[in-house]
Amino acid sequence: MIPPKTKAGTKSAPQSVTVTNVGAVALNITRVALGGEWPNQYSQTNTCPTQLAPGDSCTLSVTFERLSRMPKAHGQRTSASRTMAAAARRR
């Protein structure tokens, strides 16, 4: 995701990412978190359940907010969205 140019103190429109379970067993989602160099300038909402069945999908929506108290630095603000999940083994 690349956020649009955003003026200090304002938020961008949300950008969405779809997470799909392409495995054969349910995916247990334990956490969705933002990390990276500038995580405080991003927020996220999601439709992910705690368990994502095979073939099912959920959506992460990420919004960028350029903080007004930041110095007038230009350039990219990088961050990363992490979805923490584990799949049970088939027996």
Query: The pTM is what?
Result: 0.67
Q: What confidence score (pLDDT) does residue 50 get? A: 93
Query: 8-34 burial by CB neighbour count: b if 16+ within 10 A, else e?
Result: eeeebebeeeebebeeeebbebeebeb
Give yes or no for a contact between 64 and 11, defined as CB atoms under 8 angstroms apart.
Answer: yes
Q: What amino acid is encoded at 48 in this protein?
A: C
From first to last of its 91 residues, the chain has per-residue pLDDT tens of 676 777 788 888 899 999 999 999 999 998 888 877 778 888 899 999 999 999 999 999 989 887 766 555 555 555 555 555 555 555 5
The token pair that represents 68 in the structure block: 């007004």
